[in-house]
Structure 1
Amino acid sequence: MQDLEIIASAGASFRPGDIPPPPDGGIEAWTQVAMGWIVIFATWGYVNSFGSFQAHYTSTLPQSPFQISWIGSIQVWFTFFGSAFSGRLLDAGFWIPTFLVGAGLQLIGIFMMSLSTSYWHLMITQGVVTGIGGGIIFAPSLALVATYFEKRRGIAIGLVTTGNSLGGTVYPLVVRALLPSIGMPWTARVLGFINLAGFILVAIFMRPRLPPRQTGPIIDWSAFRDTLYVSYVGGLFFFVWSVYYTFYYLASFGQQEVGMSFADSSLITTIINAVGLPTRVLIPVLADRIGPLNTIAPAALCVAIVAYTWVAVHDVAGVYIFSIFYGIASGAFQSLMPTGVASITTRLDTIGSKSHWGSYLGCAVEYTLRGAIGARESFEGWLEGKD
């Protein structure tokens, strides 16, 4: 495995005279980390808080929990879909217009969600529009941060991805606090104003370091001739099949199967995101020492092992214990996903166009499978494969 990391690190090196070496620190570089954190907070933090919305929609809409979860599934699918193509726009030097379009779409989706009164309204606003908007901006922001670091790239990206955990912690708390008192429309608007404030800062301070790459296709097909890259993308493909089920279903599972209240079940989403915060910081530090690929493999194994224990959860205590362990394991893996891509990319000015293909393709298949799973109307049938 050590040889594998040597190959990956060599592939990510900078060619002398072509691209200047990254500063690997300093005010400008760490400012990009802070701005990237805001983007991930507002995009993936919002996405990972869907469990709170799922719990609310389950009690207010006539659709089943599995049908309602399609809103979140579509949101994730379009987030990865947008990211699969928007990265090339960063490489080409179009960061500012790309960010403005993506941020604008996400905000439009959130504010229109506040006016939604039916399942299909939410599917379009919260699922499609916010998903596309978030996808357009999150992948370029991660790739942009990666170009400022080399030796400290793991910790830099790890710090950025903590926005995922903190956003997934804060948004459910806001929903839990405001929903009973001001209702869903104004709760959604408050979330929109939070994102708007952050996006203003990002538009002012986040700037790309590398010169534009004017040539090259939107999709870098040459990357798929790289065995290492294809293997990594294939791993992400299978991982994304399952990881977001837990984020979406666990709160509803707590309500329907073990009798938790809406307020208590909403805390599950907060817990599962909050406990992943330490691993999102510490595991990338380890990755900088032993290599991202050497770290992400055992992290993926831990996620799989913990996921299988869900079938043994039958009470409130079990839900809390499972959410803690799953949050820790999934936080570690998710923090390493972008770092792994950067470590196997031969040119950092192509990171944007190579990021998140495995995640997008995995989501595409996962969304199709969800249609079949939606026919199972009990959690027992879903967890254990029973009809």
Structure 2
Amino acid sequence: MNEKFSADPEVHSDRDTIASSSSYDFDDIHPTSAEDGAVSPGHKVSTDERHSISRASRDLRRSASNVLAQVASRVTTKTWPEPPPPPDGGLKAWTQVGAAFFVLFATWGYANSFGAYQTYYSQTLPETPSTISWIGGIQIFLSLTVGILSGRLLDAGFFVPVFFVGIIVQVLGIFLMSISTQYWQLILTQGVVSGLGAGIYFTPAVSVVNTYFDKRRGLAVGLATTGNSAGGIVYPLIVRELIPKLGFAWTTRVIGFLNLGLLAISFALMRPRLPPRKSGPIIELSAFKDPKYTGFLASSFFLFWGNYYTFYYIASYGTQVLNLPYSSASTLVIIINGVGLPFRILVPMVTDRIGNLNVIAPLTLIWAIVSFTWLAVHSVSGYYAFTIVYGIVSASYQCLFPSTVARITPRLDTLGTRLGMAFSINAVASLTGPPIGGAIQTASGGGFRAPQIWAATVTLLASLLFIALRIHMGGLSLKVKC
């Protein structure tokens, strides 16, 4: 008995105390049954009983401490097991690609068709072009920035409820848009509500596709982003053909029902592959210490700054400068969105072989040259040619953005967080680019030359930054895959 006590320091301390007093009174204990091991008031507790109670109390404290430690670990720990490698194919993986196609169709096909709305609102609302473009700018801004939160929720294992809520909010915004007749109402419905809903589900959906692929990631994401181009064809056609026949309200409801059906299919098919990562920050500030990540986002910022001005004003230039009717100008929106569809497949196939930056650096230089050629367009045929080439280079880059972020992300189970951060940076450019271009246009007397120069210049700056990033990552050798 004594040897057993001396092996436990806490029990040994208790024994020394007991030596000075052979028994204890536990008047504050009121048991219900002696069989349960309890004692009645005034009962003298023996030494063995005292140590049994002490040991049980310590075990209880230790159990509670372990639970609290596990909870704290999930919140504060910065390390967790490596996720399993991607399958890089298979039925379930390609099913995610098909579902993501519908997501991109209903999100960016719809958002990028705002040029058709820009022209329509310019003819029906008493607002300047710069003011009207804030509707589409806010929609895209929220579609991207909300990804900071929804991307982290994906990593934490909440993909299904997040995706469901996003669908409901986006579709609700579209149906509320159908009864909007004033500018401020369109800001709230088409801009804020539908943009917020798209932002909730978009980043998690794109992140899920990336986690299923490695060597064929570029191709998989490229196939998914063809939904962007397909939607960019369909939505302007719906707006152009149905508004004269059904009116604005029912045309918008048709779009709402279309989005509801497409997103319902995606919701039924898409499921995350990686186990939940409960710990970790919502914003991973340490990512900005990585020159590859920071350099890529800085370069992309300037690209998106000029890109969305061109997309929003491509039709307005046709009606105001080239005197095209609204139907013909809307065709330009369809062209700039649709011509890039095959290149969203072909370009990623090349990047999977030679590296993303090896394609992006020369591609963006071509993009800058094409942007400057807008200054030389003075005929309808020339404008159609410019629209085609601009749509090709823009689509070729946009389909590479998610896969490039995945390539420079060390761990795929942090991709939702990093991709959400990356989309949010570009959201600022997407939000401010069209209004800045519109303000420059207004300040220059309504002409397009000054904003054209601004958009082309920031695109050139982006290209130079991408070339510098490529040299930083792979040096001057063209054989290095990066």
Q: Same fold (TM over 0.5)?
A: yes
Are 2:339 and 1:275 equivalent residues in the alignment?
Answer: yes
**For the Cα contact (< 8 Å) 1:105–1:133, is it kept in 2?**
yes
Q: What residue number does 2:258 align with?
A: 194
Which of 147, 153, 164 aligns to 1:100? It is 164
Out of 21-30 and 157-166, give the one that drifted further.
21-30
Q: What's the CA shift for 1:382?
A: 2.8
1:373 and 2:440 correspond: yes
Residue identity (%)? 51
1:191-340 mapped onto 2 (5 Å cutoff): 191-340=255-404
Residue segments in structure 2 that go unaligned for 5+ positions in a row: 1-80, 455-482
Say which is worse superposed, 157-166 or 101-110, in terms of deviation: 101-110
RMSD across aligned C-alpha pairs, in angstroms?
Answer: 1.8
Q: CA deviation at 1:61?
A: 1.0
Asked if 2 retains the 8 angstrom alpha-carbon contact of 1:240 and 1:359, the reply is: no
1:373 Cα deviation after fit: 3.0
Aligned mates of 1:156, 1:374 — CA distance in 2: 39
Where do 1:1-387 residues align within 5 Å?
18-365=82-429, 367-368=431-432, 370-371=435-436, 372-373=439-440, 375-376=442-443, 377-384=446-453
Residue 44 of structure 1 contacts residue 168 of structure 1 at CA under 8 Å; is this kept in 2?
Answer: yes
| Greater Rg over alpha carbons, structure | 2
Do the aligned partners of 1:234 and 1:358 also contact (CA within 8 Å) in 2?
no
Tell me how far apart the structure 2 counterparts of residues 149 and 121 of structure 1 sit (CA, whole Å). Answer: 42
What number of residue pairs does the alignment pair up?
Answer: 371
**Alpha-carbon distance in 1 for matches of 2:425, 2:273:** 29
In structure 1, what is the Cα distance between the partners aligned to 2:141 and 2:103? 18
Q: State the 1:134 CA deviation.
A: 1.0
- Per-residue deviation, 1:368: 4.4
Q: Is residue 44–residue 164 contact of structure 1 (8 Å, CA) maintained in 2? A: yes
CA displacement at 1:365 relative to structure 2: 4.9
8 Å CA contact 2:146–2:420 kept in 1: the answer is no
Is the Cα contact below 8 Å between 2:140 and 2:430 reproduced in 1? Answer: no
CA contact (8 A) 1:107 1:192 kept: yes
Asked whether the equivalents of residues 237 and 360 of structure 1 are also in contact (C-alpha less than 8 Å), the reply is no
Deviation at 1:204, TM superposition (A): 1.1
Give the whole-Å Cα distance in 2 for the aligned partners of 1:139 and 1:297: 25
Counterpart secondary structure, 1:145: helix
Contact kept in structure 2, 1:172 and 1:270, CA below 8 Å? yes
Which residue identity is paired with 2:347? I
Q: Aligned AA for 1:170?
A: V
- The 3 A distance-change label for structure 1 pair 366 and 19 is closer
Cα 1:51/1:328, change in 2 over 3 Å = same
The alpha-carbon distance between structure 1 residues 237 and 381, as it changes in their structure 2 partners (threshold 3 A), is: closer
Deviation (angstroms), 1:366: 5.6
Larger RCO, structures 1/2 (Cα 8 Å, 6+ apart): 1
Change in CA separation of 1:200 and 1:368 when aligned onto 2, cut-off 3 Å: closer
For 1:33, give the aligned amino acid.
Answer: V
Pair 1:224–1:124, CA change in 2 (3 A): same
Structure 2 CA distance for partners of 1:356 and 1:214, relative to 1, 3 Å: closer
> For residues 145 and 322 of structure 1, what CA distance do their matches in structure 2 show?
33
Counterpart amino acid of residue 115 in structure 2: G
Paired with 2:101 and 2:354, the residues of 1 have a C-alpha distance of 24
CA offset at residue 271 of structure 1? 0.4
Secondary structure, aligned partner of 1:355: helix
* CA 1:356–1:258: 2 relative to 1, 3 Å: farther
Structure 1 residues 295 and 276: CA distance shift in structure 2, 3 A:
same
Residues 187-243 of structure 1, C-alpha deviations (whole Å, 9 max, x = no match): 000001011001111111110000000000111112112121111111112211111
**Counterpart in the other structure of 2:28:** none
Partners in 2 of 1:191 and 1:362 — Cα distance? 26
Post-superposition Cα deviations, 1:231-281, rounded to whole Å, max 9, x if no partner, equal 111111221111111111011111111111111111111101111111111
* DSSP 3-state at the match of 1:51: helix
Report the CA distance shift for 1:379/1:202 in structure 2 as closer, same or farther (over 3 A): same
Listed as ranges, the gaps of 5+ residues in structure 1 are 1-16
TM norm structure 2? 0.74
- The Cα of 1:128 is off from its aligned counterpart by 1.2
Task: Give the C-alpha shift of residue 103 in structure 1.
Answer: 1.2
Verify the 8 A CA contact 2:144 2:426 in the aligned structure 1. Answer: no
Deviations 1:286-331 (A, max 9, x none): 0000011221222222222211111112222122111100000001
Once residues 340 and 356 of structure 1 are traced to their aligned partners in structure 2, the CA distance between those partners, rounded to angstroms, is 13
For residues 430 and 160 of structure 2, the distance between their equivalents in structure 1, rounded to whole angstroms, comes to 32
Q: Offset of 1:380 from its aligned partner? A: 3.5
Q: Runs of at least 4 residues of structure 1 off by over 4 A?
A: none
Decide whether the 8 Å contact of 2:165 with 2:197 is kept in 1: yes
Hey, what does 1:4 align to over in structure 2?
none
Distance in 1, Cα, partners of 2:284 & 2:346: 32
The aligned amino acid for 1:288 is D
Within 1, Cα distance between the matches of 2:422 and 2:441?
A: 24
